[in-house]
Amino acid sequence: MAHVAQLLHINGSISKIRIDQSNQLIMKRLGFHYFSDTQHFRQYDLQIWLPRLKSFGAQWLVLNAPTNRAIPEAFIKALIDSDIKPILHFHIHPNHIPDQDDLQLLFNTYKRWGVQYAALFDQPNTHNVWRSSDWAQIDLVERFLDIYIPLANHCLNACLTPIFPPLKPGGDYWDTAFIRRVLESLQRRGQHELLEQLILGAYSDPGEKPIQWGAGGPERWPNARPYFTPQGVEDQRGFRIFDWYMAISQAVLSSPLPLFLFNLGYSSTVDNYLHRNLTIARLLAGDFIEGYEVIPPEVIGGAFKSLTDSSESDQEGWFGQNGKSNRQAEAFHQLAKKISVRNQSKHADPSIIRHYLLLPTFEWGISDFHLDVIRPIIKRYQPTIGFSLDEAKNARRVTVVGGEEVFSETILNQLRAAGITVNRIDENGTNIASVIATLS
């Protein structure tokens, strides 16, 4: 589900670049975690929770899947018939691997019912997942892959898409170092089919950090190191963990892998948690919010923390044990309705563009200099890119590349008068950093 870049070459020059972010794809990012146990798969449970999930516009539901039996077919098919994609999370222990023939049969059954995604294992970069004697041995990543690869290939054999297990951010074995070693090893072992299909899982729990913590990844925070984050430096341990994982897969594989985000959202112990959770939901839904960087299209979806809370307060979840909505659920439901109305409007009017990067045209094409200047904006914001002032008039934000001799202030003021936010990158690109800061 990565973005689609169309490059049309005329006489060796680029005449048009467009990065297409479909509103339909963006809307399919919203999801939730179901109960943490494996006991709520009855028809009674469906009657309670399916209408609530549909009212939220949920597109994903993470289910904790047992390895010794299948979740009932009626439950799985009811989700799929409602356009909710189940992600089966098998919390397999590295020291207690189920019979592989039984797992293959289970995977085949789920695929026959319409399931597409399976996450195997959970937080293998933490000490408590392993026996102490196994943890203490060298080459933990290699030993984990010896276990993981056969099971992931069973997923592929069943035509399921494997999601690499979400790691503990930081963790006893630093998660970014773990991911890098995993991708390097899979490449070295010739696991090309697995790498082509693999989705990275990431625990995107922001804790008490601001939503923008770590945004920009290692490119913006080069002094962040495994096990050591200097004062004043931000790292991957927050909502924007995907920026870091994408940078790693880009460096190792030359292109970023898609990601799915687990455990989204702030708890009720964090100040202004409701507003923050709604902001994350809006970002997932593709809203442009001043002061926040857009979520890249490589993030295919995310699941907010459990629908319900086991505590008596019912404040951690979205609903009480009896399905009664709390303040957070009511606010999210109103947001979901607004998003639905907005996207129906956008579907009716495809001319609306979130962010347009307007480039100058020359008889000989476009210069490598301009391509170099705009590269960081393309990587970070995935704008629509083109050369048409008329197209730019259909955008909410326009970033112009070039001085007044190319795009006069009179022209830009016309855009501003139409309510469009306009930024200019000067001809030599010296103000690119300040422009990016404005976009952020």
Domain locations along the chain? 23-348, 351-439
pLDDT of 62 strictly over 80? yes
Distance of CA 401 to CAs 14, 262, 382, Å? 15, 38, 16
pLDDT of 317 strictly over 80? no
pLDDT of residue 11: 30
Residues 119 and 110: their CA atoms lie apart, in Å, by 13
* Top mean-pLDDT range of 22-31, 180-189, 418-427: 180-189
pLDDT of 338 strictly over 50? yes
pLDDT of 343 strictly over 80? no
Residue 17, token pair as written in the block? 């670049």
* Top mean-pLDDT range of 12-26, 325-339, 372-386: 372-386
Residues 316 and 298: their CA atoms lie apart, in Å, by 28
- Say what the pTM is: 0.75
Kindly indicate the confidence band of residue 3, based on its pLDDT and cuts at 50, 70 and 90. very low
125, 129, 133, 137: CA torsion to nearest 10: -20
* pLDDT over 70, % of the chain: 83
Residue 391, token pair as written in the block? 């197209």
Kindly indicate the confidence band of residue 17, based on its pLDDT and cuts at 50, 70 and 90. very low
Residues 212 and 217: their CA atoms lie apart, in Å, by 11
Task: Give tens-digit pLDDT for 395-407.
Answer: 888 998 888 888 8
Same fold, 23-348 and 351-439: no
Average pLDDT, integer, range 63-92: 96
pLDDT of residue 328: 78
Find, among 58, 80, 90, the residue nearest to 304 by Cα: 58
Residues 59 and 171: their CA atoms lie apart, in Å, by 30
List of residues 6+ apart from 99 with CB closer than 8 A: none
* pLDDT over 90, % of the chain: 52
pLDDT of 24 strictly over 90? no
pLDDT of 346 strictly over 60? no
pLDDT of residue 126: 97
pLDDT of residue 396: 83
Average pLDDT, the chain: 84
The SS3 call for residue 53 is helix
pLDDT of residue 14: 32
pLDDT of residue 439: 65
Average pLDDT, integer, range 411-429: 77
pLDDT of 202 strictly over 80? yes
pLDDT of 12 strictly over 60? no
Find, among 135, 111, 112, 107, the residue nearest to 123 by Cα: 135
* Domain 351-439 fold: Rossmann fold (3.40.50)
Strands 117-120 and 161-164: parallel
Query: What is the CB neighbour count within 10 angstroms for residue 291?
Result: 9
- The reply to whether CATH 3.40.50.970 applies to domain 23-348 is no
pLDDT of 111 strictly over 80? yes
Average pLDDT, integer, range 232-248: 97
